[in-house]
């Protein structure tokens, strides 16, 4: 069996309902790109008529170029030599420097498609080729910006919700969600930037969140600021989570070996592939760290891949899921995953167990991929500073902003 072609499918994805930029058609207009995304899918074809698909993240419009450049190496190779081909591609691009999540995204989609081919050839789901499964369903958690959305997720069977700061510091929002869901539901906080917090501000925020009994606090400081993460780790009595912005085992290594996190969060579209996800999970297992893959901006194919990985590892925690997404999500693949009582079933069909609907993808050509900065609302950035576009900021008005007190009416 030989690879005959590598194809890419890049599409524009509209904002999730309720986010700024959302429109009746679900596609963001040029005037407001906020909340829109790109999805990049890959298809690898062979001379025996078996094809496999994958998904790439990590700046999809740029990643597509990398995938097509890798194509020259892949043509004529046996797709069943998955790890050898991964290393050939990885080493082949080292002359361009360490490519981070762009290179990781390209490798991920390709490697995912190779696993899909192998599963189809052998008539087995990927999880069965990885040593079998621990579980036949995976718990998922959703996103809740308001108590009403949190209650809606609970009505759908969810047992865990995450509240995002996204640069802001909104203790009252987290407290309101915790009160709405009660003590029997897990609540998490994602505190990522922009703008990123300094270590001291992150410690202050973490200590104020401690009474809410969080399952974890995610990305309290910038991803490369590992010494700051260590300071937060030593000072805050909340489990920490991070790892979505790095690629492969080498990117995840310091988080795990230094035990900076309780939960590692590799992105299923840019971590390097299914094999890399398994290797990251094994490294984490040796340090008593759980795995909760990132999936906040990913499309439906990577979600299938995450389920195969999580079915096979002992330290799986939960999978992030955008339950209420842009309507086109449910039109570009077949079958469509549906959560039942807060769980997704592990696929049982050969390979990934999902196929692209190419004509639907073609209806949404990519226009742009670089996101807008957050609105200058005095939360994500200090008042009147959003145009500066700084990477991190010390929070001003600390007495008012870094304490767990309700917003004044």
Catalytic residues: 192, 294
Contact 124, 131 (CB under 8 A): no
- Please identify which residue in the block is written with the tokens 């094999």: 275
Closest among 75, 91, 83 to 4, alpha carbons compared:
75
Burial class (CB in 10 A: 0-12, 13-18, 19+), 47: exposed
Q: What is the largest CA-CA distance in the chain?
A: 68
β-pairing, 333-334 vs 355-356, is: antiparallel
Determine phi and psi for 169, rounding to 5 degrees.
Answer: -130, 100
Is residue 384 helix, strand or coil?
coil
Instruction: Tell me whether residue 324 is exposed, middle or buried, using C-beta atoms within 10 angstroms of its C-beta: 0 to 12, 13 to 18, 19 or more.
Output: middle
**What is the 3-class SS of 7-28, one letter each residue?**
EEEEEEECCCCCCCCCCCCCCC
* Helix residue ranges per DSSP H, 210-297: 226-235, 248-257, 274-286
Helix (H) or strand (E) holding 100: helix 100-122
Residue among 393, 276, 348 nearest 124 (CA): 348
Which of left, alpha, beta for 5 (phi over 0: left; psi -120 to 50: alpha)? Answer: beta
Eight-class DSSP state of 299: -
Whether the Cβ atoms of residue 268 and residue 303 lie closer than 8 Å to each other: yes
């Amino acid at each position: 069996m030989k690879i005959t072609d590598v194809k890419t499918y890049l599409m524009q994805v509209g904002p999730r309902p309720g986010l700024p930029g959302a429109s009746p058609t679900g596609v963001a207009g040029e005037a407001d790109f906020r909340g829109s995304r790109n999805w990049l899918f890959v298809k690898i074809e062979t001379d025996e008529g078996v094809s496999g698909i994958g998904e790439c993240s990590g700046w999809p419009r740029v990643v597509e170029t990398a995938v097509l450049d890798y194509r020259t190496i892949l043509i004529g190779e046996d797709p069943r030599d998955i790890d050898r081909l991964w290393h050939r591609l990885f080493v082949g691009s080292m002359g361009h420097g360490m490519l981070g999540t762009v290179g990781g995204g390209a490798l991920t989609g390709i490697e995912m498609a190779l696993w899909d081919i192998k599963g189809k050839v052998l008539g087995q789901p990927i999880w069965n080729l990885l040593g079998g499964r621990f579980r036949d369903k995976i718990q998922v958690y959703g996103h809740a910006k308001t108590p009403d959305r949190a209650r809606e997720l609970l009505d759908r069977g969810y047992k865990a919700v995450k509240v995002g700061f996204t640069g802001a510091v909104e203790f009252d929002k987290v407290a309101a969600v915790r009160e709405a869901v009660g003590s029997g539901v897990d609540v998490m906080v994602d505190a990522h930037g922009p703008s990123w917090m300094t270590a001291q501000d992150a410690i202050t925020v973490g200590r104020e969140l401690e009474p809410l009994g969080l399952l974890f606090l995610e990305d309290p400081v910038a991803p490369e600021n590992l010494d700051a993460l260590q300071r937060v780790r030593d000072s805050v009595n909340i489990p920490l989570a991070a790892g979505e912005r790095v690629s492969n085992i080498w990117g995840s290594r310091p988080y795990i070996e230094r035990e900076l996190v309780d939960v590692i969060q590799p992105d299923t579209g840019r971590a390097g592939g299914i094999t890399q996800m398994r290797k990251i999970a094994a490294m984490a297992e040796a340090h008593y760290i759980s795995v909760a893959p990132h999936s906040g901006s990913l499309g439906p194919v990577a979600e299938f891949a995450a389920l195969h990985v999580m079915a096979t590892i002992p330290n799986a925690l939960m999978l992030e899921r955008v339950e209420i997404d842009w309507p086109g999500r449910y039109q570009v693949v077949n079958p469509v995953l549906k959560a039942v009582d807060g769980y997704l079933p592990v696929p049982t069909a050969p390979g990934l167990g999902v196929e692209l609907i190419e004509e639907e993808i073609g209806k949404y050509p990519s226009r742009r991929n670089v996101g807008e900065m957050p609105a200058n609302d005095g939360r994500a950035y200090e008042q009147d500073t959003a145009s500066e576009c700084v990477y991190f900021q010390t929070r001003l008005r600390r007495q008012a902003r870094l304490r767990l007190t309700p917003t004044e009416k």
